[in-house]
Amino acid sequence: MLAGKAIVVTGAGQGLGLAYAQRAAALGASVVVNDLDGDNAAAAVRSIVDAGGSAISVVGSVADWDVAAELTNACIRQFGAIDGLVNNAALHHLEFPWDETEDQMRRIVEVNVLGTMYCGTHALRAMKAQRRGAIVNVASGAHIGLALRATYGATKGAVASLTYGWALEAMPHNVRINAISPTASTPMTKASADDEARFPESARLPGKGAPPASVAPMVTFLLSDLAEGVTGQIVRMTGRTINLVDHPSNAAPVEESEAWTEPTIAAAFKDVFAGRLKPVGQMAKTYAWAPSLGEDGLAGA
C-alpha cells in the first residue's frame, strides 16, 4: 500500500511514533526515523531493517530548524523524494495553570507547535515542488479541554489550526494535510498516569488506551493513495472506534444590534444564548449561568 513511498516520522523512537514507522515500513515505505534519543532511534531502525524494511535515522529535536530541515533533506537524499510526514514528536505534562513555569510552557510550545511547523514547512516546500505528498499531524482530544492539560491542549489546538490552514494552501498542489487524535497506552501516558497521583481524583482520566499498533493503520491510511480526496480533517482514533472531529464554526443564531452595550449583551446572553452555552471540555462539564442585573444595568456578582 505504501510501496515506493518515502516517509518521515518524528518522535519515532518509542510509543505511537515507533508504531507508525514500523507499520509504514511493513506496508512497503522507506522510513526516516527521528527521535531525540539516539539509542531509541537506532533501535527503531534495527527493528524495521530486521523485519525486511528500509529505514535510516536522524537524531535531534524537531524544535531545531536545522534538524527539521535535515529530516526532509535526508529523506530526499537517501530515498529520492519525501512522500509523507508524520508530525508525531511531542511533549506532555500535567499542571494547574497557576503553577506553570516559563520553562515548562516554553519547552512544550517549542516542540509541539514550532516543531510541527518547522518540519511541516520544510516538507511542504519539497512536496509543493514535486506536486504530491501527505502530512499527518498529531492533535489531541485535550485541545477540546482537559483538566491539568490546558498548556498541552493549547499546543494541540494550534496543531489543529495548522492542519486546517495548511490543507487549504496545499490543495492546489496535490498535497493532503490531515491530523489524527489518538488514544493509546504509551510511555507518555504512563508518565502522565504516574504524575496524576499529585492531583485530585476528579482530574484523572478513566480507563487505559489502546496498544499503539492498533492506532497505526489510521496514519498509514492517511499517508496512502487510499485517502485521495481526504484533506483538512482531524480523525479521532482509539484503536476500536474512529470518528471525525467537528471543525470549529460560528454557531447560530446570530444576534444583531446597531450598537451593542453591556446591558444589551447581557440580555442577549440571558434570553438567547443561555440555553445554547456549550459544555466545557472533553469531559463535557456543564455550569450554571444566570446573571442578575444590578442598578447600573451590569451583571452583578
Strand 6-9 and strand 54-59: the pairing is unpaired
* Active-site hit among 118, 152, 164, 287: 152
- Residue holding cell 495548511? 166
C-alpha closest to that of 5 among 59, 66, 87, 86: 86
- Residue holding cell 464554526? 249
C-alpha closest to that of 11 among 67, 50, 77: 67
Contact 4, 26 (CB under 8 A): no
Written as nine digits, the cell of 204 is: 484523572
- Known catalytic residue at 164: no
Distance CA 89, CA 138 (A): 8
- Residues classed as catalytic: 152
